[in-house]
Amino acid sequence: MNNKQVIFENVSVCPVAYALNIIGGKWQLPIIWALNQNAVLRYNELKRKVPGITNTMLSQSLKELEENGLIHRVQYMEIPPRVEYSLTEAGMSLLPALDELARWGAEQMERRAKLK
């Protein structure tokens, strides 16, 4: 078992809690977004697309996303070695939900701005 922070307890009984434990880390969504915008990225390209992420956090987040079936990692046996990352079908199926969440967030931001 890894040391990943559990956002919600009882993830086995709540689908929302289960989903948030997979994508709720600080870097998971920016990585998913970068891959959505670029289809396929190599490690260093991904690091440039996610400002502020360290090598350790990028490596850890990529490993977790791969373990959870959201990204696909392809290693080419070349010299120098080349590794490419892309969204899996499961990762792509998350995008409409993220779009809806973004729409909801924008509405809430607008509502709060009107209250000030």
Domain that holds residue 52: 15-115
CA atoms within 13 A on the CB side of 34: 22
Instruction: Give the other-Cβ count within 10 Å of 44's Cβ.
Output: 11
Q: Which residues pair with 82 in a beta bridge?
A: 76
Q: Which residues pair with 72 in a beta bridge?
A: 86
Q: Give pTM, 2 decimals.
A: 0.81
How many domains is the chain built from? 1
Helix or strand or coil: residue 51? Answer: coil
The model's pLDDT over 34-80, given as tens digits with 9 standing for 90+, comes to 999 999 999 999 999 999 999 999 999 999 999 999 999 999 999 98
Tell me the CATH number at 49. 1.10.10.10
> Is residue 41 in some structural domain?
yes
